[in-house]
Amino acid sequence: MPEYLPTTPYRGTRDFLPPEMSVRTQVYERLYGVLESRGFQRYDGPVLEPIEIYEAKSSREIVEQQLYTLTDRGGRRLALRPEMTPSVARIIAGNAGKLQFPVRWYSNPNCHRYERPQRGRVREHWQINADIFGSESPSCEIEIFELIHDMLGGIGATPDMWRLRVSDRVLLSSILTDIVELDESLLRGVSSIVDRWEKYPREKLAEDAGALGVTDKQFDRLAETLAGGAAVLDEIPSAVRENSQLAKVLVTDAAGLVEFDPMIVRGFDYYTSTVFEVFDTSPENNRSLFGGGRYDNLVGLYSAQKIPGIGFGMGDVTLIDFLGTHGLLPEPLAEVDVVVIPVEADLADPARSVARSLRAAGLRTSTPLEPRKLGKEITRADKAGARVVVIVGREDWDGGSVTIRNLVTKQQDQVSVDSVGAAVRASLDQAAEDVTGAGGAPSS
């Protein structure tokens, strides 16, 4: 027996068959529409980047455990892109002289991380990134928070389905030093513990904190403070609040868009102040969906010019899980709207001519690639999701007409070739009314 190559994809990657791709495309097109309605422009960059751009500011977990790396023939150390933010900072720095700041950009890159595949995590994913560069104004935070609300609304999610929890690393540092009374040398380690607060048992968190040198009294005070949520804002010194973009947002009307939560930290080293995450509220999918924050110094890795930024990345895996949990995934589109079927092999050219006219009218139209009996072609068209078939017969064609059969209503009419476009459109509209009236939803 011959030994065949495997048909399964590399572990942690996915194949997308046409129905799955149709669902994804519909979701992304809605998100793109929301982004562009707010003035965000699409960009892209290479999937291969110098490894140094991740070693400088990405999380230690990504750099030490998740990078796919290689050395090219010139001895250069490269990595498959695990995230887009370092790349977009490089692009902004390299093209700053051509840009009119602030800029609103978005992308949907393919990213790679060597993770343990599980629900919500794979080794290859797509991620919508939305960023604003060139302004320190708290209006940028408001713009991003409004954008998140609009994007989730654009794919059918209602506000009760998710929570936008926000914090600020400047405020968190004040909480830890001014309220919990920790030494500044402990900030990084304790911030990491806060980031894990909802994921680990309290005993484990206390053990880790003790190993850093946090006293029992300080740990109890930390637990009390985190449990208080937004109430801690009143305890933070006013001088600190005045230097926080997020604190300025929280006293505006935009405060209703978010929920302050000091437990939001985010694991990336490049975040400088505002950080946020969106969480699913369903008990069936109780997890973080996506997040982001402000990174005012990241462009400084590439340029002396100070260009602050803020943005987020929305991964496809958690997004599709979220939509599936709440019954919001669209139905796959049918292959075609119409199939034009020649009754005889020598009528293939007339059938293609009719098909071209229907495509010119904006209808997705196909013709058979191999000769089959009429009944089999109609059955195949029905399985492909077509609502209408156009039958090109010898006598009809010689008389300047074709037959239109509606596969939903079963109505059949003979129409002139010159009016076939309008007749098919009317037949499709009737099919859509019948499907909707029967309690279904159009598939195209």
131 is in an annotated binding site: yes
Residues 6 or more apart whose Cβ sits within 8 Å of residue 120: 287, 317, 318, 321
Q: Where are the beta strands (DSSP E) in 145-258?
A: 162-168
Closest by CA position to 125, among listed 68, 58, 70, 61? 68
Residues 6 or more apart whose Cβ sits within 8 Å of residue 112: 47, 68, 80, 81, 82, 123, 124
Q: 259 by DSSP, 3-state: which?
A: strand
Strand partners, 294: 310
409 is in an annotated binding site: no
Closest by CA position to 293, among listed 444, 115, 164, 101? 164
203 is in an annotated binding site: no
AA identity, residue 243: N
41 is in an annotated binding site: no
Q: Cα dist. 287→103, 178, 283, 308, 321 in Å?
A: 31, 31, 9, 29, 11
335 is in an annotated binding site: no
Cis peptide before 102 (omega within 30 of 0): yes
Q: Cα dist. 237→165, 177, 181 in Å?
A: 22, 11, 13
65 is in an annotated binding site: no
Q: Where are the beta strands (DSSP E) in 205-327?
A: 259-260, 274-280, 288-294, 309-315
85 is in an annotated binding site: yes
Q: Where are the beta strands (DSSP E) in 9-150?
A: 41-42, 48-50, 69-71, 77-80, 103-107, 110-112, 124-133
Strand partners, 292: 276, 312
C-alpha span between 432 and 430 (Å, rounded): 5
Binding-site residues for L-histidine, please?
A: 83-85, 113, 127, 131, 266, 270-271
Binding-site residues, please?
A: 83-85, 113, 127, 131, 266, 270-271
